[in-house]
Structure formats: C-alpha cells, structure tokens
Structure 1
Amino acid sequence: MQELVAWFLITGLISFHITYSDAQPADVNVIENGANGDGKTDSTRAFNKAWDVACGITGASAKLVVPQGRFLVKQTTFKGPCKAAKIIVELGGTIVAPDTPKAWDGLDAGVWLVFEAVNGMTLDGLGNKGGFNGNGKGWWDQSCRYHPDLVCCTKLAPTSLKFFKSNNLRIKGVNIVQSPQTHVLLFKTDRVTIDSVNIDSPKDSPNTDGIHIQSANGVSISNCKIKNGDDNISIGDHCLNIKINNIECGPGGHGISIGSLGKDGGQVEVRNIHVKNVSFTDTTNGARIKTWQVGKGVVQNVIYEDIKLEACEAPIVIDQNYCAVRGACKEKAGSGVQISDVVFKNFHGTAALAETIQMGCSKSFPCKGITLDAIDLSPAKGVPCKAICTDAHGTEKGTVKPGPCLLAQANEL
C-alpha cells in the first residue's frame, strides 16, 4: 500500500480534494505555498494557491493560515463554493495592498480582495492581531472628490474587502485600516456576523465607508470601533433584518445611515433595522435616513436607541430630497420612498450644529409613524440647538430637546 501511495505522489495523480476526518480542520499555511511575510514580495500567487488547496479539501472544515508578518497581495478574488462545509481564514499577520494605484493597471480598480460564492466561512483576526492594510493614501491623493483639478483624478477606488453572493459568514477580531474606499462591502449576502472589528482611516479620507450592506438579509454587527471618512455603517437598497449593537463611531465618519436609496428610480425595500448602544464622537451625523426623490418603495420598522453623542454635527436626520449637491434637488411631486415606523429613542449628548434634528420629508410621501422618545441634546459650541421638521408625522414622548418638531400622526389629520 505504501508503495502505491508513493507512486501516486511521484506521478502527481493525487488531487488536492483530500478528505480529512471531522475531528479538526486541515491547516494550509500560505508560507508553505510560497508566500513571504516581508511586506515587499508579491505573495498573490501563493495566496491563490493556498486558497485553492484549502477550498478543495473535502470534509467538515479547512483552515487557511496566515501567520505573523506582512504579506503583499495584489487585487484578486477567492472563489467558492468550497468542498469543505466550513472554511476558516486565520489571520495572525497583516495582508497589505500595493502602495500605488498603478498596481491596478489592467485589473478591476473597484476592488482589492473579493470573496465570491464562499459559504460557511470564518475570517478570524485572532483578537485583532491580524487584518488588512489597504494603503489608501495614493488613491486619496488623486481622488476627484478633493482634487477635481488633477488631470489624473479618479472617482473610482478599490473597496478593500468585498463579500459577494456568500452566506453564513463570520468576521471577528479583524483590523481593517487605510482602505482606498469602502472598507467592507456585503453584497447579496445572507446570515453574516461581524464582531469586534476595528476600522481606521483618516476622517478626511474620501468615500471610505466603514461597512456597507447591500441586498442582504440577517446581518449582525457588534462590538466594533469605526473611524473613517464617510458613513461609519451604511445600509443600502434591499436590506432586511439588520442588527447593529455596541459600536463606537469616530472621530470621523458620517454616522450610521440608511441610504442613500433609490438614486436611479428603482424599487427600494429596507425593513427591520435595529441600531442600539452606539456612540458618535466628532462625526458629521448620527442616525440618518436619506432617499432620492425618484426612488420608490419603503423604509419601515427602524429603531435607533440608546445613542450617546459628543460634538456630533447632526444627530438625527431624515432627508427625502437627498442630492449629490446638498440642496440642489428640489421637491419632486408624485414619487418618493415611503418612510414609516421609525423610532429615535434615548439620545443624549451634544451637537455641533444648530440644526440638531433635521427631518425633510416628501410632500407626496410624508414620513409617518415617527417617534421621538427621550431626546436630550445640548449645544457643543454654544449655538442653540433647534429641530426642523417638514412633512414628518408622529409622536413625541417624554423630554424631546430640542423640540417640539413632529406634526400629528398622518391618520389623525
């Protein structure tokens, strides 16, 4: 028997699709597949090779091990489905992106690392020992948002981590820093848990959303720290059953936002969003819902509660006339996304702008079922706080400061 196995090894006829016992995952180390942790050597092929081996293992689980070190990996996609019922990516080190946009020449400049059609995966940073560095400065320096005069300015920059058509994911204890654009994108994913992830980019870095969720169901985000230059967490079209808990936002970021929704006039469905126990420090917004006038559909059953704010510019915002240029998109009759059954409860802290509560709803589709409950917001810079509400109907409970703001419930008119 030993002679037969030796013959197969020599002739190369043994496949990577090896079956292991269910007792423990089979380890596949990237260094053993040619990776170098010096931060300079291109390890892209080695990571792809290691992924193919781990993904091809048949059994209960397989583990892709990234040990201590800094591993340079260029734009690539890790594709499934995998043979293993579960696949673990264990990050003891840091995966580093190229430090120049030129490294994307001939590649997809919209992404850095993609996990596609991978089900049952855990991405484990071993208690924030490991993670990803997107080396975003080169992209920020040529961003059209801040440098429209540059001949080579660009609106497109890579998302660091994209999870596409992948379900039953767990991302825990990972550091994700210096992303060229969005740090984490969940697109067409179901049943995802993100826990104890640290996201860190400068507050003036353009379009660096922390976590963006699009076309997803059953996402839980908890115990995360997010410092960045755009929405700390953003929820896009077609998102259901999203839970966000115990998040530190800032300094920097545009809050936890629903939207913007319906930009191209498509159908919108966002339901059952629960945001709880969040702090906003030196952010431009806190709780925000933003929709384009041309959109259709619904935003329904949303709760923001137990929110602490420190020098947050605008703690509560609903904007149904959202526009690329603020204030440039005027009211449009006959269209809009219906926003209803939204609760803002137990907000305490300071606001940096006078317009502390802003609700600009649509005349055609006024906001209804809005609740302001136990709101106590004071000025951070001595400018009196005020609430401005247009076509927003609902109920105010307990202390609402600043206020009053809401109109009577629409069904009481």
Structure 2
Amino acid sequence: MLVPDGNTFLVHPMAFAGPCKPTSISFLISGIIIAPNSPESWKGRNQGRWLIFKGVDGLSVDGPGMLDGRGKGWWDILCATHRHLPGCVKLAPTVISFLQCNKVSLSNILVVDSPQTHILITGCNNVVIRYLSIKSPETSPNTDGIHISSSHGVFIHNTNIGSGDDCVSIGDHTSDIYITDVDCGPGHGVSIGSLGRSGNEVKVDNINVIRVRFNKTTNGVRIKTWQVGRGHVRGVLYEDVNFMDVSNPIIIDQYYCDVRGGCESTRTGVQISDVRYAGIFGTSKSKVAINLNCSQAVACTDILLDTILLAPSTPGKKVISSCNNAYGSSAGIVEPESCLLE
C-alpha cells in the first residue's frame, strides 16, 4: 500500500484488520495523512482510535511521510483540562494503534499533534520502532508519545519524542522492552506505570532504558504504582542516561493517586526489585534529585545506584536523595549521596 509523496490525504477513522494471507505487508507513507479536525467525525465510531492495525502480522509501516492528528480540537474539550465544560470528553483518538500484531516495524515517520496518545502498542510481540519523530505541544493533555501494554519484545531506538505527557509509558503485562538512543523532551519522561490502579496483579519484567537524553522534562526515569496493586516490577536497567534541567530525574512513586497525598495506606503493594541505575549524569531542577518513595507494605529491594553524578540546575543550590523503605547498594561515585537501606 502506498501513500504517494506530494499529496495530503484527509482520512476518517479507519481499521485494517487481519489475519492476512501474505507473511509480510508493506505500508509506505511518503505523503501526508491528516485526521478530521472536528470530533464530530467520530460520532458512532470508537472515539479512542484513528488509524488501527489489528491482527496484522509481518507488517512494515515506513516513511518518510507524516501523520497529523490535528489534536487541538480535542485538547480544547478534554475533561482532563476542561472538567467544568459542558459536554467535555474523557477519551480522544490515538493516531496509530497496533493491536494483537506480531513482527511489526514502524520507521521514518513524523507523527504530530495527536488528540491523545500518539502511538499505541497493545497485545503485540516483536515490534521495532525506529527513526521516528513525535511532536506535540508541551501543554497538550495526555499526549504520550508511545504507550506499550500487554506486549513483549518491543524495541524503540533512534527516536525523538516531545509531547505533553510521557515520552514512553509502559503498562502492565509487558516484558523485554528496549528503549535506546532516544531524545525525550518536552514531556513527563519515560514511565513504567501507572500500575495496579484496580488492585490487579502486575507483571512487568526486563525493561531497559539505555542512552536516553532528557531535556527539561518534568520527570526522568519513573516507576509509578498504586498502593492497591499487587504483583511485581523487576529486572529494570537505566544505563548511560543524561538529564538536562529535569524536575525529577530519578523517581519511584508507590503512592500514585488521583489526589496527590490523599489516598489512605493499604497493606498491599507492587513488589519492585532488581532495579539498576548506572552511569547517570546531568542536572536536576528540583532539590530531591533521587526520590525512591517505596511502599511501606512491600519494600523496594535489590536497588543499585552505580556511578551517578547529578548537580543542581541552578549554581549554588543543593540536591539530595530521599528514600522510603528502599533497600539496595551503591557503587562508584554517587552524588547526591545514596540513601538506600542495606
């Protein structure tokens, strides 16, 4: 399938559904595909989707074209930022979704101004995302760059992401995720979670964030869970990461809540273990550069801080680390000084 260069195509919500007879399918986007600029076009349709690939294996989506979600019409009526607006909406379309697809690649595409999440990967195996550029305003609500859930073997590399939410967010039932050589900013960083909101059993394994640069993001590398969650997050590696003027460079928040600080304590929690921070450098906009706020019910264990140098963004200020029920060890130079319990 070819979207030719030099042309702009207005495409209404559309789904490409498998299974397909060919073992490999090529979708070449050289031109520009734009979404309708009015939410009215989604009446009677799935309001959370624009372009969908479902059950399509061996799919290759390649550029050098552009997908334009034309999200402003949605941002202005989302309940998240306009809750008192009559008729506000809670759900807006994702630009491109891959559902229950295997052996998929997405490359060399510019994705801009999604109404909500830009790229969704769910129920998929063996996905490669590379040489993408994802852009939306810093003020655009809930516009995650890439969201991954219930998927295994996802590789994201050589990609630039700037949005109004997480550059990459990793949901439940995921494993073997590799995020390498990525530039993130503006946005909320690379997040595992939030997890366990409904008290479900969480399973997240082998997450790798390597050679990622964060530029003026609100968070850097973050793990966030709800107290009512159960299960585990384990085998997480953050290596060769650089922060420039980041508000919360390293953060584990096991008290994630609708109302910050307003949720009662529980006896449950997600077990976070085997998390390694190695070769972390840069500047922190906030005083607490390392914040490991782990559950009082289920401690974080086997945390390693290995060669970390974080300085304040403003000369003359000071940065510190803060730990709550976090156990582990440190190696090499760690600044600010480790607060881990042994």
TM range (shorter): over 0.9
Q: Compute the displacement of 1:332 (Å).
A: 1.4
**Partner of 1:353 in structure 2?**
286
- Separation (CA, whole Å) in 1 of partners of 2:172 and 2:87: 32
Q: Please, what is the CA RMSD of the aligned residues?
A: 0.9
Instruction: Decide whether the 8 Å contact of 1:331 with 1:362 is kept in 2.
Output: no
Report what 1:26 is aligned to.
none
8 Å contact kept, 1:78–1:114? yes
Q: What corresponds to 2:81 in structure 1? A: 146
Check if 1:288 corresponds to 2:225.
Answer: no
Give secondary structure in 1 for the equivalent of 2:74. helix
Q: Answer whether contact 2:246 2:284 (CA < 8 A) is retained.
A: yes
The reply on whether 1:132 has 2:67 as its aligned counterpart is yes
Aligned match of 2:338 = 404
Which segments of structure 1 move beyond 3 Å, counting only runs of 4 or more? none
Contact 1:235–1:258 (Cα < 8 Å) also in 2: yes
Distance 1:381 1:107 in 2: 50
State how far apart, in whole Å, the 1-side matches of 2:213 and 2:263 are.
31
Matched, 1:72 2:10: yes
Report which stretch shifted further, 395-404 or 337-346.
395-404
For the residue of structure 2 that corresponds to 1:300, the secondary structure is strand
Q: Structure 1: how far apart are the matches of 2:301 and 2:308?
A: 19
Provide the C-alpha distance between the structure 1 equivalents of 2:265 and 2:276, rounded to a whole number of angstroms: 25
Shift in Å, 1:218: 0.6
Structure 2 residue corresponding to 1:332, chosen from 261, 266, 270: 266
Residue in structure 2 matched with residue 15 of structure 1 by the alignment: none
1:145: how far off? Answer: 1.7
Aligned residues of 1:372 and 1:395 also touching (Cα < 8 A): yes
Contact 1:237–1:269 (8 Å) recurs in 2: yes
- Whole-angstrom distance in 1 between the partners of 2:77 and 2:162: 21
Query: Which amino acid in structure 2 is aligned with residue 294 of structure 1?
Result: V
Post-superposition shift, 1:184? 0.5
Residues in 2 aligned to 1:355 and 1:363: alpha-carbon distance in whole angstroms: 20
| Separation of aligned partners in 2, 1:98 and 1:402 | 49
Residue 131 of structure 1: how far off its partner (Å): 2.3
Higher normalized helix content (fraction of residues)? 1
Q: TM-score under structure 1 normalisation? A: 0.81
Letter of the 1:67 counterpart: P
Write out per-residue CA displacement over residues 192-240 of structure 1, whole angstroms, 9 at most, x where no aligned residue: 0001111000011000000000000111100000000111001100001
**Who is 1:96 aligned against?**
34
Higher RCO, Cα 8 Å, sep 6+: 2
Corresponding residue number in structure 1 for 2:171: 236
Aligned residue number for residue 215 of structure 1: 150
Which residue is 1:254 aligned to?
Answer: 188
* Aligned residue in 2 for 1:8: none
Q: For residues 167 and 259 of structure 2, what CA distance do their matches in structure 1 show?
A: 20
Aligned to 1:4: none
Q: Indicate if the aligned counterparts of 1:377 and 1:401 stay in contact, CA closer than 8 A.
A: yes
Distance in 2 of aligned mates of 1:152 and 1:401: 50
1 CA distance for matches of 2:195 and 2:47? 24
Letter paired with 2:150: S
Contact 2:305/2:338 (<8 A) preserved: no
Partner of 2:103: 168
What are the within-5 Å matches in structure 2 for residues 374-413 of structure 1? 374-382=307-315, 383-408=317-342
Query: Displacement, 1:272?
Result: 0.7
Name the aligned partner's letter for residue 256 of structure 2: Y
Taking the aligned partners of 2:259 and 2:138, their CA distance within structure 1 comes to 20
Deviation at 1:329, TM superposition (A): 2.0
Aligned residues: 340
Alignment check: 8 A CA contact 1:321 1:330 kept? no
CA distance in 1, matches of 2:69, 2:81: 19
Matching residue's letter, 1:365 = V
User: TM-score, length-normalised on structure 2?
Assistant: 0.98
1:343 aligns with 2:279: no
Letter of the 1:339 counterpart:
I
Percent same amino acid among aligned pairs? Answer: 46
Q: Aligned with 1:257: secondary structure?
A: strand
Q: Quick one: which amino acid aligns to residue 293 of structure 2?
A: G
CA distance in 2, matches of 1:347, 1:331: 32
Could you say which residue in structure 1 is the equivalent of 2:140?
Answer: 205
**Structure 1 segments unaligned to the other structure (5+ residues):** 1-63, 409-413
Deviations 1:340-369 (A, max 9, x none): 000011111111111111111011110000
- Does 1:187 pair with 2:122? yes
Distance 1:331 1:277 in 2: 36
Higher strand share goes to which structure?
2
How far residue 404 of structure 1 moved from its aligned partner, in angstroms, is: 2.4
Indicate the larger mover: 313-322 or 376-385: 376-385
